[in-house]
C-alpha cells in the first residue's frame, strides 16, 4: 500500500505549551489525492482544518496549498497557512520566507525561529449585516446594551461576521444558539454560518471567540487566524487609528488557550502571526 506522510502541528501556541493553540494536520504531498479524497481525509482527522501541499502553478509561489474542513474546502484560513508554511520550510530546505498559493491568492509568510507571520492576501471588503442589533444580541444570547458599535461582515480571504462587544465579560457570556446563528450568521459567499465576537481587554489586548456550525450544532474554534485578519479589516473599515498592534487571546473557554498577533500598518496591510509547534508525524496507508 502507498504511504502518505502527514504532520500534526499546533498553531498559535502559548508559552511553549504543546497542548495550546489550534491543531492542524498537513499532508506533505497532496498530489495522489482527488478533491473528494482530500475531503474524506479531512473528515477522517476531524480537525478544524487539514491541508495538502502541492506543486505551485505560479512561479512566485513556493508551494500550492488546499485547505479542507471536515465539511468543505476553504480559500484561505490563518492557522493552516502558518502551520503549512512551517512544514514547507522544512521540505524545501529551511527558508524563513515562503509564498503559499491558495484559492484566495498568494500569501507571503515569514518566520523568526518558530514564530510565523502571514500577510493577508486580499484587501478587506465589508458589508453591513441584514440582522438588527437586537437580533445579533439575541443570536449571541447577550444583553443588547453590551453589543458594541458597527458589527460588520468582513472578507480578507474568508468572509466572517465580526461583532464587537463592550467587555471581555460579554465575550465570555456569549452562548449562540444553532438556529439563531444559522439565521443571522450565514454567509451566502461562504455557504456557512459563523460569528467572531471580541472586546478590548486592556491596551493592546483583545479577547475573542469564534463560533461556527458543524453537524447542526455550535462549535467553538480555539484560534482563528482568518478572523483575526478580518478584525484587522474591521479596524480599517471603521476608521481606527493606524498602525494597530494587538495581542488576541482566544480558546480559553474550551481549555485550548491561544495567542494571535495582529498588526495593521499605516499602508493598511494586515499581518497575523503566532507560534507553531510540530507535535507528531505519521503516515496513512491507502490502497
* Residue 6 grid cell: 502527514
Task: Go through the chain and tell me how many residues it has.
Answer: 287
Interhelix angle 78-92/225-237, nearest 10 degrees:
120
Contact 177, 139 (CB under 8 A): yes
Q: Which of 19, 22, 44 is nearest to 284 (CA)?
A: 44
Instruction: Indicate if 169 belongs to the active site.
Output: no
Q: CA separation (Å) from 165 to 85, 111, 196, 238?
A: 33, 33, 10, 15
Residue 181 burial by Cβ neighbours in a 10 Å radius (0-12, 13-18, 19+): buried
Contact 70, 43 (CB under 8 A): yes
| DSSP state string for 217-248 | EEEEES--HHHHHHHHHHHHHTT--SSEEEEE
Q: Please name the residues in contact with 168: beta carbons below 8 A apart, sequence gap of 6 or more.
A: 199, 201, 207
The residue from 28, 49, 180, 278 that is catalytic is: 49
CA distance 277 to 196: 25
Contact 162, 153 (CB under 8 A): yes
Residue 112 burial by Cβ neighbours in a 10 Å radius (0-12, 13-18, 19+): exposed
Q: Please give the positions annotated as active site.
A: 49
Amino acid at each position: 500500500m502507498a504511504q502518505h506522510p502527514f504532520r500534526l502541528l499546533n498553531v498559535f501556541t502559548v508559552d511553549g505549551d504543546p497542548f495550546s493553540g489550534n491543531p492542524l494536520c498537513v499532508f506533505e504531498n497532496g498530489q495522489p489525492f482527488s478533491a473528494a479524497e482530500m475531503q474524506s481525509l479531512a473528515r477522517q482527522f476531524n480537525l478544524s482544518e487539514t491541508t495538502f501541499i502541492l506543486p505551485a502553478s505560479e512561479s512566485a509561489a513556493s508551494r500550492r496549498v488546499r485547505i479542507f474542513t471536515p465539511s468543505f474546502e476553504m480559500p484561505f484560513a490563518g492557522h493552516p497557512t502558518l502551520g503549512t508554511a512551517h512544514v514547507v520550510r522544512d521540505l524545501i530546505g529551511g527558508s524563513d520566507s515562503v509564498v503559499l498559493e491558495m484559492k484566495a491568492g498568494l500569501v507571503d509568510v515569514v518566520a523568526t525561529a518558530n514564530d510565523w507571520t502571514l500577510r493577508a492576501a486580499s484587501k478587506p471588503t465589508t458589508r453591513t449585516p441584514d440582522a438588527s442589533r437586537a437580533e445579533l444580541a439575541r443570536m449571541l444570547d447577550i444583553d443588547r446594551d453590551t453589543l458594541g458599535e458597527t458589527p460588520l461582515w468582513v472578507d480578507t480571504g474568508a468572509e466572517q461576521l465580526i461583532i464587537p462587544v463592550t467587555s471581555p465579560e460579554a465575550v465570555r457570556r456569549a452562548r449562540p444558539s444553532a438556529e439563531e446563528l444559522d439565521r443571522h450568521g450565514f454567509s451566502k459567499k461562504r455557504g456557512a454560518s459563523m460569528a467572531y465576537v471580541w472586546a478590548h481587554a486592556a491596551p493592546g489586548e483583545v479577547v475573542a471567540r469564534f463560533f461556527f456550525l458543524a453537524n447542526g450544532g455550535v462549535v467553538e474554534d480555539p484560534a482563528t487566524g482568518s478572523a483575526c485578519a478580518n478584525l484587522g479589516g474591521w479596524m480599517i473599515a471603521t476608521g481606527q487609528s493606524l498602525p494597530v498592534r494587538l495581542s488576541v487571546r482566544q480558546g480559553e473557554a474550551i481549555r485550548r488557550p491561544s495567542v494571535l498577533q495582529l498588526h495593521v500598518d499605516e499602508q493598511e496591510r494586515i499581518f497575523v502571526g503566532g507560534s507553531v509547534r510540530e507535535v507528531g508525524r505519521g503516515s496513512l496507508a491507502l490502497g
